[in-house]
Amino acid sequence: MDPLPYKLTSVPDYRDSGFDCLVIVGDDPTALGDGLSDLAPILTAYCQADAAVLEAGSVALIPSGPQGRLLFSNSGRLNRDQDDLRRIYDAAGAGLTRAVGAGAKRPLLTVAKLASLPVGREPWATQPAADRAALLGAMQALYTPLELRDIGRRPKIDQLGFRPSSAGEAGESQLRLAAALEAGRILARDIGGSDPERMTAKRAAELIRSVLGEDAGVTVEVEERVDPAKYPLMAAVDRAASGVPRHAGCVVHLSYRGSGDCPQPLLFVGKGITYDTGGADVKAGGHMAGMHRDKCGAAAIAGLFRTLQLLRPPRVEAHASLAFVRNSIGSNSYVADEIITSRAGVRVRVGNTDAEGRMVMADLLCLMRERALGLPNPSAASLFTVATLTGHVIRAYGVNYAAAMDNGPARLKDTSARLQRAGDLVADPFEISTIRREDYNMVAPKTEAEDVLQCNNEPSSGTSRGHQFPAAFLIRAAGLDKHGLDSDRPIAYTHIDVAGSSGDYPDPATASPLLALAARYILPDLSG
């Protein structure tokens, strides 16, 4: 299977006549650098006629240049406190969108020499990193939704050319890396962004099997039903949907092991709620629309395994369990006040059926805890939950940021901070939150009948520490509280909430945090 729906080629000369539009991303249209100096008179004349092209975010299309169409997309300055690689990522996306709108089928993308790039002051401030961000931003803009491809819609372009800042093998390596990352993001967007009937639990599993099963490197196992004996909390959420065969849940397990010694096994759990009605605590007042995106956590992890499959990095071992379940309303819905014993033997009192994400992940997190304990050195493993979990994280950080939060052993590994630094290198930014004692107090039992409270009765966006306390619940419900700093068998665990970074509906899904996870764990040359 070709990793991309269009041809991706490295082009050393921007004058190549095989393309029909030259797209330049830069911070100053009057200072393109030596490699593009022949175009300076054209752009200088255009700036004199239309000064708007000097503004950040502007896109100028000029009927000139070697391909007959020259497009300059202005990133704006890159050297202020608030600037990062997203300036380049966004400018490339805007440029390709404009090129496609103008009818280009074979655009050629290049990044000008960036006059304001703060080289030596920021880890991300290198020309190769800018090249990578431009490619990834362009590819995000070129995505065609699965629903349109199902009815025969062709890709937006036939070929994407890229003129890299580094010639030879370095430039080819950039393209191979970008293609593998984008192939993973395509799978993630297909799962996360498709409508709730096109991407039911079973159809998500079928898609994963069809993509990952075609090539070696990744093993795929599917549990076709949610077994209440193995996953009691997940099965509670699945109860109402399981009565409709096409909506019934399933669990997908993925594994990858590269060559050589694998010193840090990565164990992922992904939330794949194919549609979230809120359950018995129904999402009223129009808040249900867009809830087909509640599977973006599991989708991103599936996409990460596609990238692993294509790159085959050595010394990497990764396992994932993805919970694909629909949170439906019905006579068999689970309800608040139920007490359900988790896989870890913890008695959980349900407080809100719209807090279903933590329910479907807790038993799988316990499964990963068990896997870690089976390793020769459990403390070498790193466990993750990845989920579009709370509206509160959007209230706290906005729509463009994932939030990562560590337990004690993960904090000693600097997990969230290193993930944040890796994300900065690939335009996939993170904020770091902390799990505090108030979060554990929030989920403490309210009666002697339960061991932990799943949630309060209010929306997370209106609850103090609304995106942190769910991590405390997951730790307790999965039995990870027995493996903290005070344990002789500590296990590192990090929760990642991508409710904001997964894509601001109706904009396309982003596949966050795939890029940051890849930069941190499978591309050591990027993040060290």
Q: Which residues are catalytic?
A: 283, 358
In angstroms, the CA 452 to CA 455 distance is 9
Which amino acid makes up residue 174?
Q
Helix axes 169-193, 201-212, angle to 10 degrees: 160
In angstroms, the CA 480 to CA 213 distance is 32
Residue with tokens 């209230």: 395
Residue with tokens 């942190």: 468
Pairing of strands 339-341, 317-327: unpaired
The DSSP string of 458-497 is S-GGGSTTTTTHHHHHHHHHTTGGGGSTTSSS--EEEEEE
Neighbouring CB atoms inside 10 A of 64's CB total 15
Angle at 450 between CA 447 and CA 455, to 5 degrees: 90
Which residues pair with residue 348 across a beta bridge? 340, 452
Q: What is the dihedral of CA 342, 411, 86, 170, to 10 degrees?
A: -110
- Distance spanning both ends of the chain, measured CA to CA: 31
Given a contact cutoff of 8 angstroms between Cβ atoms, the answer to whether 457 and 336 are in contact is yes
Q: What is the dihedral of CA 163, 164, 166, 170, to 10 degrees?
A: -110
Neighbouring CB atoms inside 10 A of 87's CB total 27
Using omega within 30 degrees of 0 as the cis cutoff, is the peptide bond preceding 128 cis? Answer: no
